[in-house]
Amino acid sequence: MRPLSSITLKSIVLIGAGNVATHLGLSLQKAGFEMAAVCSRTSTHGQQLATLLNSNAVDSLKAVPLNAGLYIIAVADSAIESVSAELPEVEGLVVHTSGIAPLSVLHKHKRSGVLYPLQSINKQVPTNFEKVPILVESTKTRDLEILEFVANELKATPFRITSEQKKMVHLAAVFANNFTNHLYGVAYQLLQSQGISFDLLLPLIAETARKVQTEIPQTVQTGPAMRNDIETIQAHLELLQRYPQYRQLYDLFSQSIRNTNRASTSEN
Amino acid sequence: MRPLSSITLKSIVLIGAGNVATHLGLSLQKAGFEMAAVCSRTSTHGQQLATLLNSNAVDSLKAVPLNAGLYIIAVADSAIESVSAELPEVEGLVVHTSGIAPLSVLHKHKRSGVLYPLQSINKQVPTNFEKVPILVESTKTRDLEILEFVANELKATPFRITSEQKKMVHLAAVFANNFTNHLYGVAYQLLQSQGISFDLLLPLIAETARKVQTEIPQTVQTGPAMRNDIETIQAHLELLQRYPQYRQLYDLFSQSIRNTNRASTSEN
C-alpha cells in the first residue's frame, strides 16, 4: 500500500440529507475534509445540512460540482441506482453507503466504490465513527486505498469486502442489532406490565454484550431452553398468553436454541 | 430501616455445588462471610467447592449445621421444593436463588426468602456481583433487611420484589439475555459461512447494548422491518434459504417490529 500521506482528497460531495448523510457529513467535516456541496431534493433538509457543514446546498444532481474527489451517495437503497444514473460523469470516485446494494449499481461511473459503516445510525443519538468498522469495496486498488484513508481519518477501522460478503454482514447485523434491540423492547414492555423499571435489566444487557466480546456466543448460551427446562418454558409461555406474537418468538427461540445446542453437541 | 451495622450474620450454609452455588459462594467468602458448610449430593463437586470456600462438605441435608444464620438453596428449580422439605427445621433464614420458583416452595420454614441475582452465570466466565441487581423477597421485614445486607456486602444492588413480579423479570431476562445471546450466535454462524470474523460485529453489538442504557429501546429501533423496506427483507429471506429456522425467526421479528411500530405510532 502506498503511504497514506500520498493521498490527497480535494473535496467531497454529499448526496442525500438523511440520517447517514448527516452523521457521516458531520464526522467528515470534523475530520478536516472540505464538503464541496450537499445535494438533496428536499431543499430544506439539504439547506440545513449544508449550513451545518459549512457547505453549499444544491437541489439537482445536474448542479453538483464536477471536480470533487469523492461523491458519497447516502440515500435510500432503492434510490441509489437512479441517483447514480442521474449524476453526471465525473473524474472523482463515486460511492454509496448501503449494506445491501451491490457495487454494480454504480456501473455508470468509471471509478466506483462502497463505504458502508457497520453501525446503526439514529437521528436522536450522536454517531461516533471511532473504531467503527467501515466496509470498503472497489475494483481499483487505488480507490480502495482512498476509501481506507477516509475511514482512517474518521478513526474508524476499514475492512475490505466483496458485495457478496457485505450482504451477509448486513444480514448478520440485522440479527445482532435490529432484532436484539427489538428483544430489549419486548423486555421493556413485559417489565412495564408489572410496573417494574427497565433499569433493572441494564446490567444484564451490558454483561450479555460484554461476554461475546471475548467468548464465542454458543459457548456462553444459558437459559431454560439451553438446559431443556420444560417446566420453566411452560410457565413462561403461560405468562405470555396476552402477547401472542412474543409467545411465538419465545417458542421459536426455544426450538432454535435447542437445535443449535444439539447440533454443536453432536459435533463434539 | 435499621442501620445495617445492627445486622450480624453468623454464618452461611450453601446447598448445591453448581454454577450459581459456586459463583455466589466464592463472592460471599470474598466479602468476608463465614461459609459453615457446603451440602451437595455429588460429593466430589461439594468437596471441591468446600475446599475453595475454606468450608466443610456434607453430602446429606440431615448433616448440615443447625445454627447457621442463612441457608442458601442454590439447586435446580425443580429440586428446590424437595430440598426444602428434607432440610431440618432451623432457626436461620432459608432462601432459594431461583428466578422462577415462588417464595412459597419454602413453606416448611418459619423464615424464608428469595435471593435472585439478575445475572447470567456461566461456568467458564467469572462472575462479579458488583452493581448486579439482586432481587430479594421475604414476608418479614427483618429478613428482607438481612438479604439486602448480604446483597450490599457483595456490592450488588438489592431490589425488593414479589414472586409475581419476579416471574416477569425472569421472563424479560430470558428475552434480553438468553435470546439476545442466541441472536449473536446466529450472526456468528452467518459470518462464518462467508469466512468473515465475528469480531467485525463486536462494536455494533456493544453500541446496541450501550444505547438502551439511556434510550427507550423502541425509540432507537432501526432496520429494514422498521422502515418497511420490503426489498431488503426479501433479499435477506433469500440469503437465509439454507437456514429454515433462522428464516422463520427473521420473518417473525419483521412482523413483530412492524406491529410494535404500528401500535406505538397509532398511540401518538
Nearest-CA distance A13 → chain B (Å) = 26
Please check whether residues B125 and B66 belong to one and the same domain. yes
DSSP code of residue A87: S
Please check whether residues B28 and B124 belong to one and the same domain. yes
Position B265 confidence tier, pLDDT thresholds 50, 70, 90:
low
Give the domain-ending residue among A161, A190, A211. A161
Give the domain-ending residue among A114, A141, A161. A161
pLDDT over 60 at A207, yes or no:
yes
A123-166, pLDDT tens digit by residue?
767 778 999 999 999 999 999 999 999 999 999 999 999 999 99
Q: Quote the pTM value.
A: 0.90
Please check whether residues B144 and B73 belong to one and the same domain. yes
Nearest-CA distance A159 → chain B (Å) = 9
Look at chain B and report how many structural domains it folds into. 2
Please check whether residues A140 and A90 belong to one and the same domain. yes
Residue A123 has which C-alpha cell? 437521528
B173-198, pLDDT tens digit by residue?
999 999 999 999 999 999 999 999 99
pLDDT over 50 at A2, yes or no:
no
Please check whether residues A186 and A231 belong to one and the same domain. yes
Residue A83 has which C-alpha cell? 441517483
Tell me whether B263 touches chain A (CB under 8 Å). Answer: no
State the pLDDT at residue B2: 47
A180 and B239 within 8 Å at the Cβ level: the answer is no
Please check whether residues B157 and B201 belong to one and the same domain. no
Q: Residue A202: list chain B partners with CB under 8 A.
A: 212-213
> CB-based contacts of A71: which residues, under 8 Å, 6+ apart?
A12, A13, A15, A64, A87, A90, A92, A93, A94, A95
A169 and B178 within 8 Å at the Cβ level: the answer is no
State the pLDDT at residue B266: 60
Please check whether residues A110 and A180 belong to one and the same domain. no
State the pLDDT at residue B42: 81
Angstrom distance (rounded) from CA B43 to CA B17 = 9
Chain A residue nearest residue B257, CA to CA: A182
Range in A3-17, A89-103, B133-147, B190-204 with the lowest mean pLDDT: A3-17
Q: Residue A221: list chain B partners with CB under 8 A.
A: 178, 181-182, 185
B204 and A173 within 8 Å at the Cβ level: the answer is yes
B91-109, pLDDT tens digit by residue?
999 999 999 999 999 999 9
Tell me whether A171 touches chain B (CB under 8 Å). Answer: yes
Domain of residue A144, residue span? 4-161
Tell me whether B62 touches chain A (CB under 8 Å). Answer: no
Nearest to B208 among A170, A180, A248 (CB): A180
Average pLDDT over chain B reads: 92
Q: How deeply is A215 buried, as exposed, middle or buried, from its count of CB atoms within 10 A (0-12, 13-18, 19+)?
A: middle
State the pLDDT at residue B268: 42
Q: Residue A131: list chain B partners with CB under 8 A.
A: 203
Range in A26-30, B125-129, B135-139, B144-148 with the lowest mean pLDDT: B125-129
C-alpha radius of gyration, chain B, whole number: 23
Q: Could you tell me which of B238, B70, B76 has the C-alpha nearest to residue B149?
A: B70
A16-39, pLDDT tens digit by residue?
999 899 999 999 999 999 999 999
Please check whether residues B118 and B28 belong to one and the same domain. yes
Question: Other C-beta atoms within 10 Å of A233: how many?
Answer: 18
Chain A residue nearest residue B19, CA to CA: A222
Please check whether residues A142 and A176 belong to one and the same domain. no
DSSP string, chain B: ---GGG-----EEEE--SHHHHHHHHHHHHTT--EEEEE-SSHHHHHHHHHHTT--EESSGGGS-S--SEEEE-S-GGGHHHHHHHSPP-SSEEEE--SSS-GGGGTTSSSEEEEEE-S---SSS----TT-EEEEEESSHHHHHHHHHHHHHTT-EEEE--HHHHHHHHHHHIIIIIIHHHHHHHHHHHHHHTT--GGGGHHHHHHHHHHTTTS-GGGG--STTTTT-HHHHHHHHHHTTT-HHHHHHHHHHHHHHHHHHHHHHHH-
Please check whether residues B132 and B185 belong to one and the same domain. no
Chain B residue nearest residue A128, CA to CA: B207
B217 and A185 within 8 Å at the Cβ level: the answer is yes
- CATH number of the domain at B78, please: 3.40.50.720
Please check whether residues A24 and A149 belong to one and the same domain. yes
A173 and B187 within 8 Å at the Cβ level: the answer is yes
Find the mean pLDDT for residues A182-192. 98
State the pLDDT at residue B193: 95
Tell me whether B241 touches chain A (CB under 8 Å). Answer: no
Choice between A4 and B19, residue whose per-residue pLDDT is larger: B19
B196 and A133 within 8 Å at the Cβ level: the answer is no
A45-99, pLDDT tens digit by residue?
899 999 999 999 999 999 999 999 999 999 999 999 999 999 999 999 999 999 9
Please check whether residues B150 and B177 belong to one and the same domain. no
Find the mean pLDDT for residues B231-246. 96
Residue B254 has which C-alpha cell? 419483521
Nearest-CA distance B67 → chain A (Å) = 33
Angstrom distance (rounded) from CA A67 to CA A45 = 24
Tell me whether B261 touches chain A (CB under 8 Å). Answer: no
Position A42 confidence tier, pLDDT thresholds 50, 70, 90:
confident
Give the domain-ending residue among A161, A194, A213. A161
- CATH number of the domain at A190, please: 1.10.1040.20
Q: Residue B215: list chain A partners with CB under 8 A.
A: 124-125
Angstrom distance (rounded) from CA A208 to CA B179 = 10
Nearest-CA distance A170 → chain B (Å) = 9
